[in-house]
Structure 1
Amino acid sequence: MRVLITRPEAEAQMLQQALQACGITADCAPLLAIRIHRDVPLPLDGVAALLFTSANGVRAFAANAARRDFSVFAVGEASAAAARAAGFADVQAAGGDVDSLAALVQA
């Protein structure tokens, strides 16, 4: 089997290695590049929690804010792991889609 990976470069390379370890030939052709802008002012007054839909979103937030005292709701385990790695302690992961994230926050 041969597959084409279109994820951003860093994620594509990790997936390519995992697939190759399983005997699957994988070519990478990223369709977008993640560029984190720094020194972006984030209005955090009154914010009770953060919702992340990607590990890249976690990394962008972490690059622009020192605070790690928020509760974090992550769409899935990859974004939750990124939040924990960024220093957030109160992290909950949903089932991997927007509906499960909304249900987790509502609960």
Structure 2
Amino acid sequence: MLAWVYLMGAIGLEVIGTVSLKFSNGFTDLKFSVLTLVMYGLSFWVLALTLKVLPISTAYAVWSGLGTAAVAIIGLVFFKEPMTALKGVFLLMIIGGVVGLKAISSES
């Protein structure tokens, strides 16, 4: 169970890194550029810790899927990006896939 907690932490760090990437203005803003690199580095480190327990296929799919969905939702809410019905359906498919992977996964 601790591996899943680590995985959620890795996802959070990756999301912070991605949002910081937007604010880095093409790596021209030093503080957000450094924050981006630090958050991505920490995210990969924590993801690597989860791979000691979780299968790579499950861990990476959950990490990338939930990170993608979270960043898309942040884009919609905070950056006023447009939402279409298809975008909503595909976001729900990503989240559903992650839930399904969690439901069938077994820690090894």
TM-score interval, smaller chain: under 0.3
Relative contact order higher in (CA < 8 Å, ≥ 6 apart): 2
Q: Which has the higher Rg, Structure 1 or Structure 2?
A: 1
Structure with more of its chain in helix, by fraction: 2
